[in-house]
Amino acid sequence: MKKENLELAIKLRHELHQNPEPSNYEVWTKKRLMDFLKEHTSLEIVDRGLWFYAIYHAGEDKPNIAYRADFDAIPMDEGIELPYGSKNPGVSHKCGHDGHSASLAAFALEIDQEGADKNIYFLFQHAEETGDGAFQAKVFIKENNIEEIFAFHNTSGTPLRSVNVIEGTSNFASRGMTIKMVGKPTHASQPELGINPSYAIAKIINSIPEWTSADSNRGLVLCTVVQVNIGERAFGIAASEGELLMTIRAEFEDELDKLQDNMEKLAIREAEKDKLKVSFEYNDIFPVTANHPESNVKVRKVALDKGFKLIEMEKGHRGSEDYGWYTKETKGTIFWIGNGETYPAVHTYEFDFPDENIEVAVEMFKGLAAI
């Protein structure tokens, strides 16, 4: 990678870090990335509203290959002192998406300057953290006949500048699930005259260990209760409404569907038995992100050819990644670049994307473009 391009990319990352924006509100971030590419490349830029992409044209008869980076931040204070620390209270780049986007922009510089034998699409995507981004941007795949798509994510707990890859599930599927139940209020001295959802909600919670048991599933299945909200703080009134909020998560998407189905069916049975009204709501929906074997072969080859330490991951990440929407549409892989074995984890105050990994990402992307 050219020294001047790396310097530009690091400067860009620090700018992005200093001006973080949450999912679906990345107005400044998107404009800055587009302006950077307009200033430093001659690539075609296609603005799609909340997201955009740039194109290097090699010819109509050439393959169409895409590379994706996310650019949203998370709702969290900076927490540490940095010369380029967040200027937006309550928002920071604690997942490293500033580094992802700066790396993709640097790759775009290199391809624009050196050329390629493929049509290269540089996809800059919003709202990864909520799962909205890739779901909305996945139309990009069919619209441009993308034959393969690659991405990387930084990861702590593995050697700096290492390349980590896994067959199959790279990131678990997950959904935010809310079960709402409505009964009938009554005085606390006459509970028999009302309809209280507490018992039905308790039964659902008590059933979670059975459904998530390792004996009942081939992969890891998790259900995390995040909030139980039943009744009011009024000791004279029996509870008549309640909500159970959970994050359901699984290594395999069919087992996540099975868990959701079990919970819905039990909730409906209990509601019918107690004459409750029941409804369901889903938020932050992430598919399984599954890597394609053919794309993994290329990642391994490039990592070894470039002299990076290649690590075969034993298990996929429990944390979800909306990149799975793309690998449902075409073949591709997301690989992981190590931040360091003792480096602070993402989504913690101490985290800041290591600038050294920009060069690793760019060299990996260039190698994949050349295969």
pLDDT of residue 59: 97
Residue 265 — very low, low, confident or very high, per pLDDT cuts 50/70/90?
very high
> What is the secondary structure of 159-194 as a DSSP string?
-TT-EEE-SEEEE-EEEEEEEEEE-B--BTT-GGGS
pLDDT in tens, 268-300: 999 999 999 999 999 999 999 999 999 999 999
Integer Cα distance of 108 and 44 in angstroms: 11
Is the CB of residue 165 less than 8 Å from the CB of residue 296?
A: yes
Q: Which residues contact 150 (CB under 8 A, 6 or more apart)?
A: 65, 66, 67, 68, 295, 299, 332, 333, 334, 335, 365, 368
Q: Are strands 331-338 and 163-165 parallel, antiparallel or unpaired?
A: antiparallel
Indicate the length of the chain as a whole number: 371
Helix axes 3-18, 27-40, angle to 10 degrees: 160
| Per-domain residue ranges of the chain | 3-170+288-370, 173-285
CATH number of 3-170+288-370: 3.40.630.10
Matching residue, tokens 């699984």: 250
Assessment of whether the complete model's pTM goes beyond 0.85: yes
Matching residue, tokens 């909600």: 201
pLDDT in tens, 216-251: 999 999 999 999 999 999 999 999 999 999 999 999
pLDDT of residue 86: 98
Neighbour order of strands in the sheet with 277-286: 221-230, 241-250, 173-182, 277-286
Mean of the per-residue pLDDT values for the chain? 98
- Fold classified for 173-285: Alpha-Beta Plaits (3.30.70)
